[in-house]
Amino acid sequence: MTFRKYLVLAGVAFFAATGDGFIARGMKQVGNISLHHLPDILLVVLNPVIALGVLFLLVFFTCYMTALSWADLTYVLPATSVSYVVLTLIAKFILHENVSFTRWLGILLISAGVGFVTQGPAFTPPPREKSEELLASLSARLEP
């Protein structure tokens, strides 16, 4: 794992959290959409906050796909769940929402999960590479 790859994982977490945040705020500005006026859902992207949210979520998706191209799904998902932590910190310190004790406990569990998974390897090599690795380590041992 290089610094650049950690930056991509941070991008997944950051853009998912902020993108969702912008969309939530934008939808509150737009208000309820009635089932009888469903086409209105297409017009909500004209709201600048929602447009920004969509843009951020596009960046999130690009980062997510990039991460999946070199890391396991079972590594990327827990590692990027740090976005829940970011969202709660935004809620507490920027939106001044009340964050309860159980939510802080949830943050603690998620952070522990992130810490756990990022200590391990990010990628399971395909079977062919595994046998090559084994061969390489064997031949290294056999060499005088």
Q: Which of 37, 43, 55, 74 binds another protein (CB under 8 A)?
A: 74
- Give min distance, CB of 96 to another protein, in A: 18
- What distance in Å separates the CA atoms of residue 85 and residue 13, rounded to the nearest whole number? 9
Judge contact between 51 and 120, C-beta under 8 A: no
Tokens of 98: 């009340």
Q: Contacting another protein (CB under 8 A), which of 24, 45, 55, 65? A: 65
- x/- mask, another protein, residues 116-135, rule CB under 8 A, reads xx-xxx--x--x--------
Interface with another protein (CB under 8 A): 4, 64-66, 68-70, 72-78, 81, 84, 88, 100, 102-103, 105-114, 116-117, 119-121, 124, 127
